[in-house]
Amino acid sequence: MKIILIGFMGSGKTSVGIQLAKNLAYDFVDTDDLVSQAANMSIPMIFERHGETHFRELEIEVARSLRKRSNVVIATGGGMVINNLCIQYLTENKGRVLYLESSFREISERVAKQAVERPLFKDSSVALKLYEFRKQLYRQYSDNIIYTDEMTLGEVVSKALTLYEVHKI
């Protein structure tokens, strides 16, 4: 099986993904890391030098490269859902999609605390519009949803594990 974590920027996909993979003895992959490795530069640098369109092309290639993987937890970039080809690739080979849903208020607080630079979260009102639009897509593509507001990382991971209990070691 492969577990694909989707959700808005700052929803905890990477932190949850690392812990979930550890508990399931699965590999862990972060698509932002793979995009960054493919371009040999950071995500903000890709946006700055080559623009969002190029970044999205790289994201499609990364999703394609993960089609055949199994026993893996994949944390995706928040925009992976805007191209349904990416979701098609990622869900090949028994992919199960888990949406980590958080309120925009919670997300804003988390993003403000993180050192990560996010090209699409520079203006809060622009990010809110993106959040409202994307929320529908995340829900549409998910097999399961965990509402993470008021939950600790450990609680989210435990809840995710109960969803995939059959594979727990």
Cβ distance to ligand S3P smaller for residue 25 or 103? 103
CB of 168 to ligand S3P, least distance (A): 26
Chain residues in the site for ligand S3P (CB under 6 A): 9, 13, 32, 43, 77-79, 118-120
| Beta carbons of 79 and 131 less than 8 angstroms apart | no
42, 91 Cβ separation under 8 angstroms: no
Q: Is 152 helix (H, G, I), strand (E, B) or coil?
A: coil
Backbone angle region of 146, left / alpha / beta, with phi > 0 → left and psi within -120 to 50 → alpha: beta
Shortest reach from residue 96's CB to ligand S3P, in Å = 19
Question: 6 or 24, CB closer to ligand S3P?
Answer: 6
| Minimal distance, residue 165 CB to ligand S3P, in Å | 27
- 55/164 with CB nearer ligand S3P: 55
Closest residue to bound ligand S3P by CB? 77
To ligand S3P, the closest distance from the beta carbon of 25 in angstroms equals 24
> In 10 A of CB 104, how many CB atoms?
16
CA dist 11 and 147 (Å) reads: 10
Of 127 and 157, CB closest to ligand S3P: 127
Spatial neighbors of 1 by CB under 8 A, at least 6 apart, are 70, 71, 94, 95, 96, 164, 167
Question: Measured from the CB atom, is 78 or 95 closer to ligand S3P?
Answer: 78
- Residue 121 and residue 86: Cα distance in Å, rounded? 22
Q: From the CB of 124, what's the least distance to ligand S3P, in Å? A: 14
